[in-house]
């Protein structure tokens, strides 16, 4: 079975990670015949503060939070201040040129279509 | 009537299950162990969904900030009763039944409920809530009698 999207946590360990601490956002991967849908939770991130790129067949998503500025004393905190980052290794069947993304209510949704030649094709008997 | 008297938790002592997930992140960064890198938020899957909640206070308001990514506005319920603020709701899976199969599920779908005891009395009629980028901000104006007052000392 194909996993889109094998998570790659080791990348970025070469010095890059030491520079800034990130937290790993929860993600859901769905697969159908046409491709994959990847949903990543990034509360406090919007279109302007979201960055994504594909390099060496690896998809990296970085979301920087812009939290509402609240004037007052903090009584209780559970949220974390760090930004989000997650890297996925792309399945070779994915057409990286056709990846599209949107962000809505703090959830990034990516559509990763499979390349035409790997889609199941029905062969009609003549 | 319940047998055990319900004790309202104090806001500062509230246990957050999300802390486990944070702890995992911290451990991961420290150790980079492969066996910790499997299914990330497994703890959350077993314990349900505990959205992170922050609470602030200033002279005029008490402000609660919750991380609720991917909700619909109409699926969020906010109620105020006896000085206890309750936020509940349900996150519905948007991509279900399209011949899709999940290869990884870390996002929680389903019901959640969080309650927090407010530090002061608030004016329930003037509560205001906004939802932006998956962050719910609830502003609760303090009741007049709870606001700090300057008392002028008259020298006769």
ipTM above 0.85, yes or no: no
User: Whole-angstrom Cα distance, residue B141 to residue B138?
Assistant: 10
Q: Where do you find CATH 2.60.40.790 in chain B?
A: 51-93+107-144
| Interface membership of B141 toward A (CB under 8 Å) | no
Pairing of strands A83-90, A22-23: parallel
pLDDT at B31 over 60: no
Residue pair A28/B100 in contact (Cβ under 8 Å)? The answer is no
> CB-CB: which of A31, A66, A77 is closest to B100?
A31
| CATH code at B51-93+107-144 | 2.60.40.790
| Interface membership of A7 toward B (CB under 8 Å) | yes
* pLDDT of amino acid A27: 92
Domains (range + CATH), chain A = 5-67+79-116 (2.60.40.790)
The pLDDT tens digits of the residues spanning B50-74 come to: 899 999 999 999 999 999 999 988 9
Size of interface A-B (CB pairs under 8 A): 149
Q: By mean pLDDT, which of A45-54, A102-111, B13-22, B28-37 is the weakest?
A: B28-37
The answer to whether B68 contacts A43, with C-beta atoms less than 8 Å apart, is yes
What are the mean pLDDT values of chain A's consecutive 10-residue runs (126 residues total)?
54 53 91 90 95 93 90 90 92 90 95 83 82
pLDDT at B137 over 50: yes
Residue pair A28/B105 in contact (Cβ under 8 Å)? The answer is yes
Provide DSSP, A61-78: EEE---PPP--SEEEE--
Residue B26: which H helix or E strand, with range? helix B18-31
The predicted model scores a pTM of 0.72
From B51, B56, B58, B98, select the one nearest B78 (Cα to Cα).
Answer: B51
The pLDDT tens digits of the residues spanning A48-81 come to: 999 999 999 899 999 999 888 888 999 999 998 8
């Amino acid at each position: 079975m194909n996993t889109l999207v094998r998570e790659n946590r080791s990348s970025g360990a070469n010095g890059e990670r030491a520079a800034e601490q990130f937290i790993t956002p929860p993600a859901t991967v769905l697969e159908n015949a046409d491709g994959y849908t990847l949903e990543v939770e990034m509360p406090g991130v919007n279109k302007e503060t979201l960055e994504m790129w594909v390099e060496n067949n690896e998809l990296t998503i970085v979301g920087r939070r812009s939290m509402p500025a609240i004037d007052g004393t903090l009584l209780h905190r559970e949220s974390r201040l760090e930004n989000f980052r997650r890297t996925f290794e792309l399945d070779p069947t994915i057409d990286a040129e056709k990846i599209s993304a949107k962000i809505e209510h703090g959830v990034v949704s990516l559509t990763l279509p499979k390349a035409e030649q790997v889609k199941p094709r029905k062969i009609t008997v003549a | 009537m319940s047998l055990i008297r319900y004790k309202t938790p104090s806001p500062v002592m509230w246990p957050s299950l999300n802390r486990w997930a944070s702890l995992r992140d911290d451990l991961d960064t420290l150790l980079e162990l492969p066996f910790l890198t499997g299914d990330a938020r497994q703890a959350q899957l077993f314990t349900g969904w505990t959205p992170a909640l922050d609470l602030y206070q200033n002279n005029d308001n008490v402000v609660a900030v919750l991380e609720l990514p991917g909700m619909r506005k109409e699926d969020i319920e906010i109620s105020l009763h006896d000085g206890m603020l309750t936020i509940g709701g349900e996150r519905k899976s948007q991509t279900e039944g399209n011949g899709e199969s999940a290869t990884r599920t870390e996002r929680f779908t389903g019901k959640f409920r969080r309650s927090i005891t407010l530090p002061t009395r608030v004016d329930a009629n003037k509560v205001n809530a906004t939802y932006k980028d998956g962050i719910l901000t609830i502003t609760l104006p303090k009741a007049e009698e709870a606001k700090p007052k300057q008392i002028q000392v008259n020298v006769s």
